[in-house]
Amino acid sequence: MVEVALRNVTKVYPGGVTAVRDVSFTIPDGQFCVLVGPSGCGKSTLLRMVAGLETITGGEVALGSEVVNAREPADRDIAMVFQNYALYPHMSVYDNMAYGLRNRRVPKGEIDRRVREAAKTLEIAALLDRKPRALSGGQRQRVAMGRAIVRQPKAFLFDEPLSNLDAKLRVSMRVEIRKLQRAFATTSIYVTHDQLEAMTLADLLVVMNAGQVEQIGAPLDVYEKPASTFVAAFIGAPAMNLLAVTAAEAASMAPGRAVPSEGAFIGVRPDDLKLDGSHPGPPAGLALDLAVTAVERVGPESFVYGSPTVGRGEIIVRVPGTSAPALGDRIRALAAPDRLHLFSMAGWRLSA
């Protein structure tokens, strides 16, 4: 277990392509950090620099008190779980899990103890004699995790380990990964483009965009107070609604909050919009007249899409219960002033 620190880390590829730019943050010992962002944002490159699989153009990566920029991957005492499992097809589950320990000349008895303990924890003890081709995708991923666990490393690195699994299995494996990380209390860095996965796994959430860190914080803090329109639109399912408004409109919707003269973006979560008359409460700061363009029914709730008569873009309203407006209906959606988020036209949060 160790604290992991990144200090002004930069990666520039030949030809001048900058994949990661001046990234700095610290992961406390034993914490689970998730790097999340769209494809191409630099999150996997950053993880590979921590692992030593990519050279660092600028800045430092430190494990505890030691800067490891010049250390080979095998000398960093970390374990990595890949998206494609990376199992040896000709080896049994037992041998796949034991392989790294044998290379480090760990005593045979200690190898056997670690492999069998990890297999029991991962519920794959009955599979130790099988070859990877005889395993399901979920079982192969457990073997890959077991291979990392037996190393007892300073840190775990996960590079989109669940993206090859079906939706149901992803949910169960996500729960298992979090349980295991808490049980071993090993500092972990996990890369994903799935914001729901990121929100449910992370102690520390790092949202990346175009090679830079857009926001760092606890998942609920990032959700409740997104630092930018990018974070607001990326974190949350469905995404936050964003409307471009004039300074006068913003001031009337969110009284008492400073608004630039050029106008602002008003943001509101679908959960915070209520259909007129369905939830009596304080006066609305935002009132939108919508023509219903689509309805997604998802069991105990529905997501209603509407086209506003003012502003641009589509608005999403979460409607609890099994009844919802029909396609073509006209509805009025309201949001209280304290549930509105205010962003500059450049896309950055203006107030708390």
226-271 pLDDT, tens digit per residue, is 999 999 999 998 999 999 999 998 888 888 888 899 999 999 999 9
Judgement on whether residues 13 and 128 belong to the same structural domain of the protein:
yes
Judgement on whether residues 264 and 333 belong to the same structural domain of the protein:
yes
Residue 311 has a pLDDT of 54
Judgement on whether residues 189 and 259 belong to the same structural domain of the protein:
no
Judgement on whether residues 185 and 330 belong to the same structural domain of the protein:
no
What percent of the chain has pLDDT above 70?
A: 96
Judgement on whether residues 315 and 181 belong to the same structural domain of the protein:
no
Higher-confidence residue of 348 and 183: namely 348
| pLDDT higher than 90, residue 116 | yes
Q: How far is CA 97 from CA 73, 92, 135, 157, in A?
A: 18, 9, 14, 17
Judgement on whether residues 30 and 126 belong to the same structural domain of the protein:
yes
Judgement on whether residues 176 and 84 belong to the same structural domain of the protein:
yes
Judgement on whether residues 200 and 152 belong to the same structural domain of the protein:
yes
Query: What is the chain's mean pLDDT, rounded?
Result: 90
Instruction: Tell me the pLDDT band of 219, cut-offs 50, 70 and 90.
Output: very high
User: What span, in angstroms and rounded, lies between the C-alpha atoms of 159 and 37?
Assistant: 13
348 within a domain of the structure (yes/no): no
Q: Report the domain count for the chain.
A: 2
Q: Any idea what the CATH number is for the domain that residue 219 is in?
A: 3.40.50.300
Residue 273 has a pLDDT of 93
Last residue of a domain, one of 178, 198, 224: 224
Q: Any idea what the CATH number is for the domain that residue 295 is in?
A: 2.40.50.140
230 within a domain of the structure (yes/no): no
Cβ pair 36, 208 in contact under 8 A: yes
Q: Over range 31-58, report the average pLDDT.
A: 95
Cβ pair 331, 275 in contact under 8 A: yes
Judgement on whether residues 114 and 28 belong to the same structural domain of the protein:
yes
Last residue of a domain, one of 224, 254, 285: 224
350 within a domain of the structure (yes/no): no
Last residue of a domain, one of 170, 193, 224: 224
352 within a domain of the structure (yes/no): no
206 within a domain of the structure (yes/no): yes
Count of CA atoms in the C-beta half-sphere (13 A) of 5: 10
The domain in which residue 302 lies consists of 238-343
> pLDDT tens, 72-86?
998 898 988 887 778
> pLDDT tens, 277-326?
655 554 568 888 899 999 999 888 999 999 886 556 789 999 998 888 99
User: What span, in angstroms and rounded, lies between the C-alpha atoms of 108 and 98?
Assistant: 9
Judgement on whether residues 101 and 40 belong to the same structural domain of the protein:
yes
231 within a domain of the structure (yes/no): no
